[in-house]
């Protein structure tokens, strides 16, 4: 129900400051509602970013006429050409993914810095750069001028559960510290987002 979607979007907007941007996940064909229909509705109502799980989902949105920035959560080496051709912005969560993507940019002779999103592991222990890897990540980002960090983000484990508040605050502290180090090293402002 697209009207309900808009009502939900407006409710969330009423809860945040005007400076806070909105990124909406559009995956699994909108859980049956249709990815392009949902994406067009969100685009029409001026969300700032979309995010998809897989390259083909982002490609389909581009082919349908979606022009918003689209973050790609699960980049795969076999789809990097499409990812670049359709201007999707990959989540970079490991050195392996970073090096593979840098190689793909070099193979396509991309001259301008390409937008990426850095995922930090602050305690979820699924994907992301750990605290001990931040110095090496910083060196990579300073060295590789083909990458432009659009955002830095992480995933909260249990922020909706008060009994985990101490852990949530620890995650946020780790995130803030690492993000500040990265921004200081690259020399420009990035978007930052952390949610559950």
> How many Å apart are CA 132 and CA 28, to the nearest integer?
34
- Residue with the larger pLDDT of the pair 195 and 185: 185
pLDDT for 88-109, tens place per residue?
999 999 999 999 999 999 999 9
Supply 58's token pair. Answer: 């982002």
Q: Quick one: pLDDT band at residue 160, thresholds 50, 70, 90?
A: confident
The string of pLDDT tens digits covering residues 16-55 is 999 999 999 997 776 677 789 999 999 999 999 999 999 9
pTM, to two decimals: 0.94
pLDDT level of residue 59 (50, 70, 90 thresholds)? very high
Burial group, residue 46, by CB count within 10 angstroms (0-12, 13-18, 19+): exposed
Q: What percent of the chain has pLDDT over 90?
A: 89
For residue 75, which phi and psi values (nearest 5 degrees)? -70, 140
**pLDDT tens digits for 121-133?**
999 988 999 999 9
pLDDT at 76: 95
């Amino acid at each position: 129900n697209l009207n309900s979607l808009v009502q939900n979007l407006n409710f969330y907007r009423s809860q945040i400051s005007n400076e806070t941007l909105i990124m909406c996940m559009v995956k699994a064909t909108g859980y049956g509602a249709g990815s392009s229909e949902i994406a067009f509705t969100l685009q029409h109502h001026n969300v700032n970013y979309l995010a998809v799980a897989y390259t083909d989902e982002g490609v389909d949105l581009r082919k349908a006429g979606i022009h918003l920035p689209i973050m790609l959560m699960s980049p795969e080496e076999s789809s990097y050409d499409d990812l670049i051709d359709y201007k999707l912005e990959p989540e970079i969560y490991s050195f392996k993914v970073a090096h593979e993507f840098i190689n793909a940019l070099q193979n396509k002779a991309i001259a301008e810095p390409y937008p990426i999103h850095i995922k930090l592991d602050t305690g979820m222990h699924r994907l992301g750069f750990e605290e001990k890897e931040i110095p090496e990540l910083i060196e990579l980002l300073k060295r590789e001028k083909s990458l432009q960090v659009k955002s830095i983000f992480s995933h909260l484990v249990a922020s909706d559960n008060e009994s985990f508040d101490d852990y949530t605050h620890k995650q946020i502290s780790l995130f803030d510290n690492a993000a500040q180090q990265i921004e200081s090293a690259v020399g420009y402002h990035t978007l930052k987002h952390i949610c559950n």
